[in-house]
Amino acid sequence: MSVIKDEINKRRTFAIISHPDAGKTTLTEKFLLYGGAINLAGSVKGKATARHAVSDWMEIEKERGISVTSSVLEFEYDGYHINILDTPGHQDFSEDTYRTLMAADSAVMVIDASKGVEAQTRKLFKVCGMRGIPIFTFINKLDRDANDTFELLDEIEKELGIATCPVNWPIGCGKNFKGVYDRQKREVITYSDTQKGTKEGETTVIPIEDDTAVINAIGQERHDILSDEIELLDGASAEYDLDAVQAGKLTPVFFGSALTNFGVEVFLQYFLKMTTTPLPRKSGEEMIDPVTHDFSAFVFKIQANMNKAHRDRIAFMRICSGKFEAAKEVKHIQGGRTLRLSQPQQIMADSRKILDEAYAGDIIGVFDPGIFSIGDTVCAPSEDIVYEGIPTFAPEHFARVRQVDTMKRKQFVKGIEQIAKEGAIQIFQEYNTGMEEIIVGVVGVLQFDVLKYRLENEYNVEIKLEPLPYEHIRWITSEGTDLDKITGTSDMKKIKDLKDRPLLLFINAWSVGMVLDRNPGLELAEFGTD
């Protein structure tokens, strides 16, 4: 047990979230650089000939320079075993981000110092709030002109409703960026522009009490400003409180530049000490302790065709308790059977390593022959654990899908059903026509582009998308409702999901209430339940 406990206590599993272009992927790569997982960080948004971000493995991501799916990255650093869940920044993929946050114990929020809290930051923060997980903030791009530091903190507190505790403090920004002041150690760490993509940079550490050395390093004017700001900070900012951080009520704030690699390792070192070991998870009314319970895990992501050569399908599982051993059988709760998990592997973007064992906190990928769904629980045969399911977001955009070559019907149906099982899209059928007419629903319109691209590149099927005007979807939850007898509105459409459950689509939100008024006893829900 002590070996298992030691291994689990070494684990740190966290997600990185941000608005697009705040520097999240660059920061992720610098973490990997310190862990020795890569030797040279890639240019995230370079020309076609440049290296691509390690965490962006899908071809469409490399072409567009955006992350559209969550990546899992694993490495060792300073005695810790780290699992990073890199999430898409774009709001059209927020559903994938939400599922990924379900597998994380804490989140790192990256904010652009010149832009502050942006629209997507708010949305992602809300998702973190729903989970109640600790949030650590890295304010990035100090090597460029930035907003006033106090105003940035004030904005985080007002916009996101969370107290801030600066762990370090920037000295200037842009061309005048001189470094940061470490409040805990009372030291000034000077900034020097490093060769991009390397971890070597010349920094000097000076005790704040050594006035002469500090003035020589940052100048008299900056020294005076820093002295005033330190006095103001010490009197006004929230005290660091680990309990408040772990309850998601206080966010420690760090400043730096991921691109030039300044402040990244300092942040990583503080973060690993402040963040938590794998947390207990709820099964019914019971909290499942990571150390004392036998093996259990849940599926939070399914991804088809990560390896184009093998046309495989990987189910990503977050191990919640105990030790996983590849040779042992596990119980698949929803499938009602005992089985061995096939080809368990550690994933590093698109590379993988078969593994024999893993511990609570780790993320493993297993070959899925089509038996797993998002939210499924697997556990040791001796356990009887059911983790709470992962809610689905109601789609807000709809389109009719037609294949260009009708001879490729089989590939088309297989492709669209597999992509739907990953949770990125939801597919519906026209009422009374079955799979002849397929309607796709997505949370964000970019998902349509990804669907078109993937069907073409992974299944060799060309499709045409015909946008539909509907924006609101409702599942019918009242039993015995005859779809033919529902009195609708002119903007209502009747459809079914793949489980043959009846649904209604509406163009206008007010039509939902009108249909309920016209059909006494009819009950509608915004989410489908599995």
pLDDT digits (tens, 9 = 90+) for 249-283: 999 999 999 988 899 999 999 999 999 899 899 99
Largest CA distance in the chain: 85
Per-residue pLDDT band at 350 (split at 50, 70, 90): low
Q: What is the mean pLDDT of residues 294-304?
A: 88
H or E, element range at 74: strand 71-77
Q: 46-65 pLDDT, tens per residue?
A: 333 334 454 444 554 445 44
Report whether 137 contacts 254 (CB < 8 A).
yes
Task: Tokens for 134, please give them.
Answer: 């600790």
| Residue scoring higher pLDDT (1 or 14) | 14
Q: What is the mean pLDDT of residues 89-93?
A: 49
Most confident of 23-32, 91-100, 167-176, 305-314: 167-176
Task: Tokens for 96, please give them.
Answer: 């994938």
What's the pLDDT score for residue 433? 66
What's the pLDDT score for residue 526? 77
Residue type, 428: F
Q: 352-396 pLDDT, tens per residue?
A: 788 899 999 999 989 888 888 888 999 999 989 999 877 666 788
Where is average pLDDT lowest: 158-167, 251-260, 490-499?
A: 490-499
Report whether 365 contacts 314 (CB < 8 A).
yes
Burial (CB count <10 Å: 0-12, 13-18, 19+), residue 200: exposed
Where is average pLDDT lowest: 165-174, 231-240, 488-497?
A: 231-240
Where is average pLDDT lowest: 244-258, 332-346, 391-405?
A: 391-405
Q: What is the mean pLDDT of residues 318-336?
A: 94
What's the pLDDT score for residue 201? 57
Question: In degrees to the nearest 10, what's the CA dihedral of 403, 404, 410, 412?
Answer: -40
Q: How many CB atoms lie within 10 A of CB 330?
A: 24
* CA-wise closest residue to 180 among 155, 208, 153: 208
The pTM (predicted TM-score) of the whole model is 0.77
Can you list the domains of the chain with their CATH numbers? 2-175+237-274 (3.40.50.300), 281-379 (2.40.30.10), 397-525 (3.30.70.3280)
| Residue scoring higher pLDDT (25 or 1) | 25
Q: What is the mean pLDDT of residues 398-426?
A: 85
Per-residue pLDDT band at 194 (split at 50, 70, 90): low
Most confident of 35-39, 75-79, 232-236, 454-458: 75-79
| Residue scoring higher pLDDT (196 or 5) | 5
What's the pLDDT score for residue 297? 96
Q: 212-253 pLDDT, tens per residue?
A: 999 999 999 999 999 999 999 888 778 889 899 988 899 999
Residues of the chain with pLDDT > 70, as a percent, come to 85
What's the pLDDT score for residue 193? 67
What's the pLDDT score for residue 289? 95
Per-residue pLDDT band at 89 (split at 50, 70, 90): very low
Residue 304 scores a pLDDT above 80: no
Mean pLDDT, the chain, rounded, equals 83
In sequence order, what are the residues at sequence separation of 6 or more whose Cβ sits closer than 8 angstroms to the Cβ of residue 53? 25, 26, 28, 29, 42, 44, 61, 67
| Residue scoring higher pLDDT (35 or 58) | 35
Per-residue pLDDT band at 115 (split at 50, 70, 90): very high
> What is the rounded CA–CA span in Å between residue 70 and residue 94?
10
Most confident of 17-26, 267-276, 311-320: 267-276
